[in-house]
Every structure is written in C-alpha cells, then in structure tokens.
Amino acid sequence: MTDVAPSFVPIQAESISFDQPVGESAQFAIAGVCNAFLQVLLPVGSIINSMLTEAQFQTQLGNPSPATWILSDGRNVVGSAYAQVAGVTNAPDLRGLFQRGKDNGRGLDPNGNLPLGTFEPDQFASHGHGTAPVVAVNGGNLVINGTGGGGNWNVTNGVASGDPFGVTVAAAGSAETTVKAVVVNSFIRIN
C-alpha cells in the first residue's frame, strides 16, 4: 500500500462519476483528504482508549508501517513524529493509571500546573475521624467522652474525672483509593 500525503486540495465532482470506475488520481485525492482530516481530528499525541488488545487495534488500522498508533506503555519512540513534536524519547506509560487533565492554572491540582506526562503518585486527602466515644463507669456514674462534630463533647451522669479506657480505630480498606472503573487499553498516535 502506498502512503498518501495529507491534502486539502478540493476534489472536482466532475472527476468522479458513479457509473465509471474511479481513476487512480481521484483515489489519491480522496485518500489525501481522508488523511488530512485524520490529522486534524486526531493529531500526533492524541490518546484513544479501546477495549481491543494492541494486536487487535493494529489489525483494525490495517497494520500501518511505520506504526501510527501504539499502546501507551512507555516504549521508546525515537524517530517518530511524536518524539520530534513533544521532544521526548518514550511514549507515556498509562498502564494501570487514571488520566488527569492538566491544571492549566485552574488551581484544582494541589501539585500545581505540572508538565504534561508527569506521574502523580497515590495521595489521600488530609482528614480526621475524631476520637471514638469512650465509655466508663466512674463511681457509679456513666461517662461518655469523645471528639467529633466540630469539637470535644462530654456526657456525664454525675461527675466525671479521667477516663481509663480508650478506643483505637483500626485501619481498613483496600490497597488503593479509587473510583469505580472499567479496564481499557490506551493508545497514542506517534506518526
């Protein structure tokens, strides 16, 4: 298959007839316009998520050479248009990661306006659980002490002094904090 350069040269309607075979020059003109639209719609550096494996994805594209789209797995892309435009030597490695939009001065990313492709490690926002209520019997009186709801609180059936009991809130949960998700492959256009 011959590579056809992108082109926005208009195709003359007179050169294509529905009752005649399409000539080679018209085929190249149509292919050029299609390639030009692809560059506008999906320029080098674009990322597409897909439910296909890399082999399946490449098959759908007609297995272009050199590779146009590759799995975003951190591989070396020296010599590709992406490497030249972005000034990098490797594709981003998006395996197992969520993608985050660049802050671009909005102020939502606590790490600031990071460069494109920057890896951000797991983070857990600062928060507190307060102290679980402590229940004790002190001289026949029920004493409940704790913190939460904006401050310390104390409920005493009588006079309370000191509390010999404590409650520890044990760690619980998974290996990461995450949202509901579906696993996909991410592909990047490098040529």
| Mean pLDDT per 10-residue segment, the chain (191 residues) | 68 66 74 72 91 90 74 96 96 93 92 91 75 56 51 45 44 78 94 89
The pLDDT of residue 148 is 47
The pLDDT of residue 132 is 53
The pLDDT of residue 48 is 93
Q: Environment class of residue 9 by beta-carbon count within 10 Å: exposed (0-12), middle (13-18) or buried (19+)?
A: exposed
Tell me if the pTM is above 0.85.
no
The pLDDT of residue 122 is 83
Q: Where are the alpha helices (DSSP H) in 22-138?
A: 24-41, 54-60, 81-86
The pLDDT of residue 144 is 55
State phi, psi for 97 to the nearest 5 degrees.
Answer: -120, 155
The C-alpha atoms of residue 185 and residue 71 are separated, in whole angstroms, by: 7
